[in-house]
Structure 1
Amino acid sequence: MINNTKEKILENTEALFNKYGVRSVSMDDIARELSISKKTIYQFFKDKDELVTLITKGHIDRERAEMSTVKSTAENAIDELFKLSHCIREHVKEINPSMLFDIQKYHPNAWALWLEYKSVFIKNTILDVIARGKSEGYFRKELDAEIISTFRVESIELSFDERIFPRDKFDFTDVQMALFDHFVHGLMTVKGQELYDSLIDAKSYESN
């Protein structure tokens, strides 16, 4: 019962953060959403910062598992990128773009988790797929993997910055997918492009 209550608080709070951003959601809002008292929340969590940190860790752990599954099941580097594209599209549908800014400014523990995830796990995943794509002949041999992977990692964070992509002018999902599309197409040889296009055509056919 105790674990169920704690998980329910985390799950519902994450949904609120995704919808409204982190800063604008108070402990009162969380209690109201769950129809419980703030005292009950404080039985499980020290404060809002701990909630944010645990939710960030849970989100990162799920993404790590999902990306690892994609990597282990993909038939080749192009298939891996195609599946990652689908994952990204599904993830950004749920996220309030102000979340990352709020975490960076107000929650240093959660921000440290994000930085480690971005600079180590995501970057290494990109380095691995680039190496795989080169060996399979789908990616250009002359690519500098270190530069390209660093660029890709930083572009993820860039897309959350409302000073660069204000929400009254840019759709968050469109920004994410445009940056990913630019990254993908900059990697590929003609052979890789042909396979990638065939996967897109097949997906389009299946959805009709």
Structure 2
Amino acid sequence: MVVAEDGVLFRDGLVRLLVEEGHDVVAAVGDGPALTDAIVTHRPDVAVVDVRMPPSRTDEGLRAALAARAQVPGAPVLVLSQYVETAGLDDLLADGAGAIGYLLKDRVAAVGEFLDGLRRVAGGGTVLDPAVIAELLASRRTPPALSAREREVLALMAEGLSNTAIQRRLVLSAGAVEKHIGNIFAKLGLPPDHDQHRRVLAVLAYLNG
């Protein structure tokens, strides 16, 4: 595993947490170029990356992660951000390879949620923070014709929830959840399949529609 974070205290704390949970941290770096080099050199199971790092302190971490995935296609990356920042999200997901996560740093304090997201990204899944999804959905001015319930289901899909988890959260039957997801795919022009990343593509199609 690779950790990229310029804040020494946060980086050390994150490394300590990961090691205590049984992960092998092969590199802990503090700037974008070092992150790209670490991913290309070590080919980690997953890289945990802060968005804002030197030298630009804007989206350096995100751009370094994109550069690394250009050299190591599909390299799993979990991006952490202090605030809800949606810029660059399309670029992060554009290659369609999955193994991408985008979470707020507050999620690290909820250790179980953070580690669950980390496992899903390492396994090739796609995880988006609920706050990021809420911001994206709220910013839409002309959303496609999804019902209120379909929007709820779509937001939970973007969080990475399974059909069973969506059932529990919304108190729906299995058939109802499947029907809503089928309707979402149909309205967005995405043929349904069993690819977890397709569920997040549905969110992107909705936001860009």
TM-score tier (shorter): 0.3 to 0.5
Q: Which has the larger helix fraction?
A: 1
Q: Which has the larger strand fraction?
A: 2
TM-score norm. by structure 1 comes to: 0.32
TM-score norm. by structure 2 comes to: 0.32
